[in-house]
Amino acid sequence: MDTPLSSSTDLDIRPVDENSPIPLYQQVRIDLLNMLQSEHLKPGQMLPTEKELAEAYCVSRQTIRQAIGDLASANLLQRTPGRGTTVLAGRNRLKFSWINPLLNRSLKWDSNPILRCCAKRKL
């Protein structure tokens, strides 16, 4: 059964840093990942609405959609139209399953054997 999260105020969310070189959606994604890893967001728990998250992070709903979409693609969240976004169970999956998409987008890891090795190894 999905556990509702009453609002974004239940989470310790701070606005993103607009002056950071890190794209806004990545800042949101990293913050949500930290909440997943620390279990502030538990399996079966519903995320606040996109609107609530956008207001809490001081970003657009599109930015929130992109961050949540990346986490859903990594099988950390499940989006259900008309219902919301749920945290998926799976503590035994690759602990940092987000590292491959992050490396693919942010770094030229193909040419770096150390990054290539870390991206393939189960941490």
The pLDDT tens digits of the residues spanning 73-119 come to 999 999 999 999 999 986 534 454 445 455 445 444 444 444 444 44
| Alpha helical stretches, state H, the chain | 24-37, 50-57, 61-73, 99-106, 113-120
Tens of pLDDT, residue by residue over 41-69, are: 999 999 999 999 999 999 999 999 999 99
Q: Which amino acid is at 30?
A: I
CA distance 32 to 30: 5
Partners of residue 3 on adjacent β-strands: 45
Where are the domain boundaries for CATH 1.10.10.10 in the chain?
8-91
CATH number assigned to the domain with residue range 8-91, chosen from the 4 options 3.40.1190.20, 1.10.10.10, 3.30.70.360, 1.20.120.80: 1.10.10.10
